[in-house]
Structure 1
């Protein structure tokens, strides 16, 4: 059993902030994985950072990081686990093996995550866990921020969680669970987090498929934004 590293709890009056852990975390400090094992995640994480889908923004509360990537961990002795970028890493252009965590268990009803590694896991770990629990063929989950995709979700025909449900909570995880139970929503490979401004999640059997889905959707969204701008009266 790991040490209770930090507690959760969601204050409905608190401002929405990425990177704030809202679940109960039982965390055991451990050694990082070999760099070669993380190569695919590292490559795509850097691509998403360069595109601005992962990064950091300045807020009244200070700089806040956003975005994370994860991968199902298939080692025989670790079935049901997944690798995910550590919390508070969004601002880093390039990560090291010390910036990843292994989620070893979760309990949605108890709002709990168990993890080990050189750093605690992302605040979105509970949401990532739902994809791995429900979709056996999904091996990669990418969470990014895109104002273009988020604001054009309806026009793009993208499924969205309830705007009243904040990120990083059991309620958000249940919202994702509900959407994934719908064949049409599940088949899109990308969800918009309605209650988490600019939040989008792609998921697929391969990293290339998950990453390409984000990039293609971003391209479509920017095309829509450009068309809408062109239609506005000048003056």
Structure 2
């Protein structure tokens, strides 16, 4: 697992608060569940993973940088990303904290695919190691977390209509149109992994 060193972009806070709907509670349920299953391992500065849903053409709500998932919704654990200024490499957002270090990943996918409304990103060494056995596509090259290069490598597989894939030596990405369906997609692959590991024990 890469050592977390914070965000790798500039950040500007538009407002400490943001509007949201029922989907934030749904996202929080998924975020907490993944942490309990070990799909977003918790560390001293947060959790390895980030989750989001689209709010409009170019905006999305995402877990904050350094978030430790909670069972009950804490709104301050999330941010509403409003804009990306490519010239200054600045994400502009609403919320109490900077958004996830993987904002490039979420921004690039939402910009390229208007039909995608949900992005779930987590980390599982066992999924990485068993990707080929589970017929999960993996990006060709490794890139550091929180970089445009990592985001662009994800786009390559998304353009091949892959909805669940592995970022090489990094973590998994699930994309979809609905929170529940995308969350279930992750759990489906997690279930396949458990079955594979059980069979290896016999």
Q: What is the RMSD of the two structures over their aligned residues, measured on CA atoms?
A: 2.4
Q: Go from structure 1 to structure 2 and tell me whether the alpha carbon gap of 1:119 and 1:165 turns closer, same or farther (over 3 Å shift).
A: same
Name the SS of the counterpart of 2:101 in structure 1. Answer: coil
Sort the Cα spacing of 1:107 and 1:161 in 2 relative to 1 into closer, same or farther, 3 A: farther
2:134 is matched with which residue? 156
Is residue 65 of structure 1 aligned with residue 47 of structure 2?
yes
Query: Which has the greater radius of gyration?
Result: 1
1:52-107 deviations in Å (ceiling 9; x for gaps): 222413xxxx5552122101013xxxx41000011111354444111110111225
1:224 to 190, 196, 199: 196
Matched residue pairs, number? Answer: 202
| Closer, same or farther: CA 214–108 of 1 in aligned 2, 3 Å | farther
- Structure 2 spans left out of the alignment, 5+ residues: none
With the length of structure 1 as denominator, give the TM-score of the two structures: 0.76
Q: What TM-score do you get using the length of structure 2 for normalisation?
A: 0.87
Match of 1:194 among 145, 168, 176: 168
Q: In the superposition, relative to structure 1, how do residues 141 and 226 fare at CA in structure 2: closer, same or farther (>3 Å)?
A: same
Q: Structure 1: how far apart are the matches of 2:87 and 2:150?
A: 12
Distance (Å, rounded) in 1 between the aligned partners of 2:175 and 2:69: 23
In structure 1, the partner of 2:116 is 138
Q: Deviations over 1:15-68 (max 9, x none)?
A: 8224621222233342143574522212222222232222413xxxx5552122
Q: Does 1:25 align with 2:3?
A: no
Q: Which has the higher contact order (CA 8 A, sep 6+)?
A: 2
- Contact between 2:83 and 2:93, CA under 8 Å: does it hold in 1? yes
Q: Given that residues 128 and 169 in structure 2 are in contact (C-alpha distance below 8 angstroms), is that contact kept between their aligned partners in structure 1?
A: no
Matched, 1:127 2:113: no
- Relative to structure 1, the CA distance from residue 107 to residue 178 in structure 2 (aligned partners, 3 Å threshold; closer, same or farther) is farther
Match of 2:32 in 1: 46
Displacement of 1:162 = 3.3
